[in-house]
């Protein structure tokens, strides 16, 4: 995953031990082991640079604070038999988007960050690969037939989520 300012990348590697996490400056220099970062599947690095989001197993999202005690916490708890994938923190730092099979098919959901709060369904009829607009007021995702969809989000304690609308068909 890329750092917020694009100057570093963090990755998991089996160079020395299984799934060790490294960070590497992009302007040169060696990759160094990132002490204190558990070997989760890395998903995102918050825009403010304060958190790394990772996937623990197939169905739990965990956040690691990069300051303070650095103790990780569960942002989206595991549900047996349910997959979670493609998570991303909103640019304003208030939400985590992800797709999950909790409904029986892959749909896009939001989870308040840092929580607590209930999962909010965004897509209807399936969705994967959600990405945020830079101001956190719109979410894009792919429907099962490859159509790029758009959903307006109006901020608030519980966001006002617009109706998903198709933008264009892709070959994905």
| Closest CA relative to residue 49, chosen from 66, 69, 32, 62 | 66
- Read off the pTM: 0.87
Whether residue 91 is predicted with pLDDT greater than 80 in this model: the reply is: yes
Check whether 16 has a pLDDT greater than 70: no
In tens, the pLDDT along 50-67 reads: 998 988 776 788 888 888
- What is the rounded CA–CA span in Å between residue 99 and residue 130? 8
- The pLDDT value given to residue 96: 94
Mean pLDDT across the stretch 78-99? 89
The pLDDT of residue 19: 65
* 27 pLDDT above the threshold of 80: yes
Q: How confident is the model at residue 34 (pLDDT cuts 50, 70, 90)?
A: confident
- Helix and strand numbers (H, E) in the chain are 0, 16
Let me know: does 88 contact 132? Beta carbons within 8 Å. Answer: yes
pLDDT above 70 as % of the chain: 92
Query: Do residues 9 and 19 touch, judged by C-beta distance below 8 A?
Result: no
Per the DSSP assignment, residues forming a β-bridge with 154 are 160
């Amino acid at each position: 995953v890329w750092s917020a300012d694009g100057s570093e990348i963090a990755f998991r590697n089996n160079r020395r031990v299984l799934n060790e996490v490294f960070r590497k400056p992009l302007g040169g220099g060696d990759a160094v082991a990132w002490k204190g970062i558990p070997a989760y599947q890395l998903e995102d690095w918050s825009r403010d640079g304060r958190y790394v989001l990772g996937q623990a197993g197939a169905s739990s999202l965990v956040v690691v604070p990069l300051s303070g005690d650095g103790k990780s916490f569960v942002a989206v708890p595991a549900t047996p038999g349910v997959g979670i994938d493609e998570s991303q923190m909103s640019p304003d730092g208030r939400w985590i988007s992800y797709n999950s099979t909790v409904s029986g098919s892959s749909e896009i959901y939001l989870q308040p960050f840092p929580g607590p709060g209930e999962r909010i369904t965004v897509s209807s009829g399936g969705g994967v690969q959600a990405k945020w607009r830079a101001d956190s007021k719109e979410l894009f995702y792919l429907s099962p037939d490859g159509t790029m969809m758009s959903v307006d989000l109006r901020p608030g304690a519980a966001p006002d989520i617009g109706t998903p609308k198709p933008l264009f068909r892709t070959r994905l």
